[in-house]
A and B are shown apart, each in its own frame.
Chain A
Amino acid sequence: MISFFHAADLHLGLRVTRFSGDCADKIRGARFRALDNLIKLAQERQAQFLLIAGDLFDDLSVDGITAERAFHILDAAPLPVYVLPGNHDPLLPGGVWDRKPWNTPSPRQVRLLREAEPVMIGRHVSLFPCPVLRKTSLQDPTAWIGQAPVQGADFRIGIAHGSLKIHEDLPPDDHLISRTAARDLKLDYLALGHWHRRQIFRDADGVARTAYSGVHEPMRFGGSQGFQTGWHPYSSGTTRNEFLDAGVGEILWVRIDHPGAPPEITSEEVGHLTWCEEERALVSEDDLSQLIAEVAVKRQLPERQLLRLKLTGVLDAGAMLRLDELRQVLKERYLLGLLDTSGLHVQPREEEIRAVAGQGVLRHVLEHLLKESGDPKTEGSKVAERALVLLYQIAKEVSS
């Protein structure tokens, strides 16, 4: 029986451009924390080796610090780690694999799979690596396995990085892998990387031997269809759902009892950060107060949360002025707190209007702004809405 972990698409040195530099650094740092979690879990589960099926790094030109940190974590792991170059970090001259410490001749635990040739793990496992040599390719990276000399090993494990050809509209240069590769190549397990959503595929005999592990650390808000971080895949089909992670950090624990036996595949969570996206409808200042109290007190581990709050509804002017209070809480407590108030509108009460605007010019201005901001289709309604809040704010300051 063999037991190993299958991970992929760690994207260390992740490209994050939509948030502040400090926040982006924390997100990138969290991916290393998740890698630590992974190693610890592998040790706990007494796995025999770890497979990383491509895209360990987000790009082949990542900085030396990231490359070294990753190397030292993996090389210090209590089990052998087999790393396959992916389409984000292909095996190209001058790339990250060509620099220290990844060009070290004899590392302790980590082994970079540079050649498409069988690698023996112990005496019973034959690993068939399919390294990616360029960002795009029309070739099936697993094709060579069919011509490889047959070894005397019992277990045949394939490791590759590309898109499994499960439907026809996939980009042809996206390292397409035959849907039946595991069966055709007589593999006990085909560990795949490239797609960020965990997926396990069954062969015609109903046995699941082909799997994408998902990502070890989420990299987007789960409820959205985009990335919102500035990251994008190096693939022509950038908007495909396969590249949207499930919002959790996970890997696969694979156990195979004997050669030819169906693998037992379990998903394990190792992620560090939580990406939350919520929408709240507010109808009164009480709702807002409740929300502020909730985000300020009730949430667990807010320093490990990226919280995106989308507010909708209509508030009176006084309540609108309290949004800054909410913003302050989000900023101070959370790793990242984003507040989307585009769906929130202001509707002052009559007594507010009288109190703020009186019967002079301000009254006319206020009525005009209310009309302008009331119609979202009007060009400049956003400006009008902000002007309306401003009017209240200034009038309040003046009257106080």
Chain B
Amino acid sequence: MILRGLLLEHWCCIARLELADLPLGVLVLHAPNRTGKSSLVKALRSCLYDHDHDTTRQEVLQAIPWTGKHAPRVTVTFETGGQVYRITKVYSRKKDGGALLERRSGERWLEHLREPKEAARETRKLLGADKSDASLNQLLWLDQGQVHLPQVRKLDATLEKRLEEVLGTLVTGRDLEFKKALDKRCDRWFTPRRHDHRGGVNPSPVTRLEQKRAERQRDKEALEKQYRDLEQAINDLERCDIQQGEMRKHVREARDELTLLLKEREHSQARRQEHLQARRDEEAAQQETKNAQARWQQRIEARERYQAHETDLTRREAEVKTAQEKLERFEEVYQQQVAALGTARLAEETHARTWDDIEDRRKLLELTTRSDALQKTLQRITRLEQESKRLNEQMQSYPAPDKVELEKLRANRRQAQALRAQLQAAELVLGITPSQATRLRLSRDGQAAEEVDLSPGEKKTWPLRQRVSLEVAGLGRIDLARRQENTDLERCARQLADLDRVFAERIQAYQETPQEESCLDRLAERLFQQEAWLRELEQLRRQLGELAPQGTGAKQHERLQLERERRLILQRRPELASWPPSPGDCEQRVSAFQLRARELERQRKTWEAQENQAHKALQQAQRECQRCQENLTDCRATARAAQQELQRLGGEEALKGELLRAEAALKCARQRLAETELTEAEKSVEERCRSAETVLEQREDRLRRLEQQMAELRGRLHGSEGLHQKRNEAASALTEVEQALEQERLEAEAHKHLRELFENYRESQVHRVMGPISGRVLQWARHLGLSEYEQVCFSDGFLPDGLLRCDGTAETPLVPLSEESYGTEEQLGLLVRLALGGVLARTEPALAILDDPLAHADPAKHRRILEILKMAAEGNQSAEAPAGPLQILILTCHPDRFDHLTGARHINLAELIQREP
């Protein structure tokens, strides 16, 4: 449907408006605010769809002008299905109300339906919607400020059906119900993360069964291992059984061999005893011979040692004697050196005592010098103190205010001057010039009355603030006063009096006259003089402080102290009273003393060195003498010991005889040993017996160990009771779990497969149906400058869920329109509306009403979207989803923003609308 004409009469504020011959394409209806643009849209909605002529709905009642003389009348001419119709509604429940549907035939209008309700119903039927916000109007008729797209669920059923007819089926309700049920069933396996009631992770049944299978598998493997161990134990036992027989045989052999050897050993027992005895005898004789030889040898060595010790003793005695003589000589020399050193030390001490005299003289010299300097300082201090006293007296005799006070006095005068000027300006002046001599009694402003005598022609004036009372002899009393007392003047006068009083008191304190104008200048001069004196006084005080920081008394006390010290020295050394203190004399005496002291010290050190050397030589001689005596003592002891050993060893002849006897016995024993020598077999029988015993022990031990191992294996075999049953149960349990797992997996995979298939087909279905719309919106969006999107995504409805960014990730795949800015959302929404409206207008043009659109678009985007509006209005029959032309009605109060819309028809409603008076 497109709009061809409109006539409004008495609708809201509009007395009359007629729009005729409206073309296809873009129409811009512009007018200032409150002209009636929105009322026009309401009239259109009401007449075509929403209300009958006799409606009592508030929207229509409000449309009746307040003058109420005429019923609102709306006539809409529209074209649909190649026919032009005209519906006229007069909104009134009275006789004048009604509705008429007409159809144009050539140049004439033919009555189509006269009955009002039928006419309205037929109109709605012709337009294919029951309400003005239903069907395609839901998308294309936008009120002011309508930005958001409708929700998918709230898409009008008629519109959805029309879209299905044109685009194809998307997803049916059955599909959605199925998907919901399938998702619910899939939750059993594929919920992202499950949590049980204790907060732990609750795995899927497949995982649970896999875990259970792993447990069962472990159990089974453990039992199978036990079974393998059991079989191994059986094999081991068989092997051991064979080994046991062999080992027993070996043990028997070893035992037989040992028995034979024991018999052989018993047969050779007597001969081996005899041989052993001969060997022991020979060894004893050999030992005895060795002992005799040793004793003989010791006797010879002891005798030689004794002789050597005797010789050494004689030599040691001679050494002791020589050392004692040397010690005596050194003692004598040392005593001489000690005496000489004592003499030198005494001379040095005597000379040191002469230093006290020099010290006293130097002290006297220092005291005299310091006392003279102190006397000069005291004289200077006295002069400075006299000068300070003089300055203080001058300052006291010539007082002056300080800077602050002087400034206060100046401020006082400035304030008084201002007040005085204020008073003078506000004062009244009473002037009297008598023609004859007259006596007056005058009382002003509450002051005491004064009597004034005036000569004829003499003019006299008096200032007044509030009132005056004048008594003129012969005339009477004249009172003159302000009607209302001026309190400001009184307050000023009081302040001025206070200021004058304070000023006079302060000036008189400095013996100045307050009435003189120069009194303040003089006080300033005084202040300047006082400051100069003060600086001078400060300098004197500083000098005094430098000369006597602790006061003059301290300096005098110091001088007396010096004098006391001088007297003390003279009392101790009266001979110095006549000594005139001289620095040169002092220095001469010090020099002579130091020369003599150095000489005496050198001598003392020489004697000390010699004494030290003599002492060391004496100590050396003492040690040498002591060592010789100790050597002598040792030598004597050694000689005595050698003599005692010689006596203990006995005589040489006896020892010689003993040696000869031992050698003869040894010879006899060796001869006997040779006679009893054993054969090789007799020698080795013992060893062979031991070896056979060892072999037997080892074999018996091995046999024992084998038997232990067999016992252990038997024990393990006995412990295997029931293992078969356990294996059976474990395998059975595993099989049971595996079967359940297989079934559960099949179920899970089947559900998953079903869901994936559903998703894939749903997506392809949506893509197939909505692909052209998506492509058109995307193309327009790019034209608009929104190039960051690569796809407009639809799910289960004909309205988009959002847009997919070019840089979109799996985590943020989709950007809902509502997340865009207000302006962009409005623009994208408009593109979607135009795209869908275009495809529905494929067979018949559609009307779009945009009331004050694109209020939030920036100028650049606004310009581009106008181009899109133009494209949408023109339609595109050759596109994948052919789009028909649109009639786009734009209502705006900013006509300039649509100037760039080439080809659009601009209608100034302000010129056409006749307003109600």
User: A residues bordering B, Cβ < 8 Å?
Assistant: 13-21, 24, 58-64, 66-67, 92-96, 98-99, 134, 230, 357-362, 364-365, 368-369, 380, 382-384, 386-387, 390-391, 394-395, 397-399
Segment at the A interface, from B444-452, B549-557, B723-731: B723-731
The answer to whether the Cβ of B462 comes within 8 Å of any Cβ in the partner chain is no
Chain A residues lying within 8 Å of B727, measured Cβ to Cβ, are: 15
Chain A residues lying within 8 Å of B750, measured Cβ to Cβ, are: 383-384, 386-387, 390
Interface positions of B from 808 to 857, Cβ below 8 Å from A: none
Tell me if B761 and A361 are in contact (CB < 8 A).
Answer: yes
Segment at the A interface, from B174-182, B482-490, B773-781: B174-182
Partner of B717, one of A19, A98, A390: A98
Task: Knowing that A16-B732, A93-B237, A94-B714 touch, tell me 4 more A-B residue pairs with CB under 8 angstroms.
Answer: A62-B721, A64-B721, A93-B714, A397-B181
Complex Cα gap A63–B223 (Å): 14
Q: Tell me how far the C-beta of B802 lies from the nearest C-beta in chain A, rounded to whole angstroms.
A: 21
Complex Cα gap A398–B183 (Å): 13
**Chain B residue nearest in CB terms to A58:** B724
Tell me if A24 and B728 are in contact (CB < 8 A).
Answer: yes
**Chain B residue nearest in CB terms to A399:** B174
The answer to whether the Cβ of B622 comes within 8 Å of any Cβ in the partner chain is no
User: Quick one: CB contact mask for B177-211 with A, threshold 8 Å, 1 for yes?
Assistant: 11001100100000000000000000000000000
Q: State the total of A-B contacts with C-beta under 8 angstroms.
A: 152
**Chain A residue nearest in CB terms to B763:** A361
Chain B residues lying within 8 Å of A398, measured Cβ to Cβ, are: 174, 177-178, 181
Partner of A98, one of B174, B716, B718: B718
Tell me if B725 and A62 are in contact (CB < 8 A).
Answer: yes
If over half of B's interface residues share one DSSP class (helix, strand or loop), that class is named, otherwise mixed; here it is helix
The 5 closest A-B pairs by CB, nearest first: A94-B717, A360-B172, A17-B731, A63-B722, A59-B724
The answer to whether the Cβ of B2 comes within 8 Å of any Cβ in the partner chain is no
Partner of A15, one of B182, B234, B728: B728
The answer to whether the Cβ of B747 comes within 8 Å of any Cβ in the partner chain is yes
Chain B residues lying within 8 Å of A361, measured Cβ to Cβ, are: 171-172, 175, 758, 761-762, 765
Chain A residues lying within 8 Å of B728, measured Cβ to Cβ, are: 13-17, 24, 230
Chain A residues lying within 8 Å of B713, measured Cβ to Cβ, are: 93-94
**Chain B residue nearest in CB terms to A99:** B721
Tell me if B732 and A391 are in contact (CB < 8 A).
Answer: no
Tell me if B735 and A61 are in contact (CB < 8 A).
Answer: no
Tell me if A21 and B729 are in contact (CB < 8 A).
Answer: yes
Chain A residues lying within 8 Å of B717, measured Cβ to Cβ, are: 92-95, 98
Complex Cα gap A13–B169 (Å): 66
Tell me if B181 and A394 are in contact (CB < 8 A).
Answer: yes
* CB-CB under 8 A for A390 and B761, given A17-B734, A99-B721: no
Q: Tell me how far the C-beta of B800 lies from the nearest C-beta in chain A, rounded to whole angstroms.
A: 19
**Chain B residue nearest in CB terms to A391:** B754
Tell me if B732 and A13 are in contact (CB < 8 A).
Answer: no
Complex Cα gap A359–B761 (Å): 12
- Which of B175, B731, B762 neighbours the largest number of chain A CB atoms within 10 Å of its CB? B175
User: Quick one: CB contact mask for B514-525 with A, threshold 8 Å, 1 for yes?
Assistant: 000000000000
Tell me if B731 and A394 are in contact (CB < 8 A).
Answer: no
Complex Cα gap A227–B539 (Å): 135
Complex Cα gap A134–B234 (Å): 9
Q: Tell me how far the C-beta of A296 lies from the nearest C-beta in chain B, rounded to whole angstroms.
A: 23
Complex Cα gap A60–B182 (Å): 53
Tell me if A17 and B174 are in contact (CB < 8 A).
Answer: no
Chain A residues lying within 8 Å of B171, measured Cβ to Cβ, are: 360-361
Partner of A134, one of B238, B721, B725: B238
The answer to whether the Cβ of B227 comes within 8 Å of any Cβ in the partner chain is yes
Complex Cα gap A59–B722 (Å): 10
Chain A residues lying within 8 Å of B735, measured Cβ to Cβ, are: 17-19, 230
Complex Cα gap A191–B757 (Å): 65
User: Quick one: CB contact mask for B738-775 with A, threshold 8 Å, 1 for yes?
Assistant: 00000000110111011001100110110000000000
**Chain A residue nearest in CB terms to B184:** A394
Chain A residues lying within 8 Å of B761, measured Cβ to Cβ, are: 361, 364-365, 368
Chain B residues lying within 8 Å of A380, measured Cβ to Cβ, are: 749, 753
Complex Cα gap A207–B61 (Å): 123
Tell me if B178 and A63 are in contact (CB < 8 A).
Answer: no
Partner of B732, one of A92, A230, A357: A230
Tell me if B724 and A13 are in contact (CB < 8 A).
Answer: yes
Chain B residues lying within 8 Å of A19, measured Cβ to Cβ, are: 732, 735
Chain B residues lying within 8 Å of A395, measured Cβ to Cβ, are: 174, 178
Chain B residues lying within 8 Å of A95, measured Cβ to Cβ, are: 717, 720
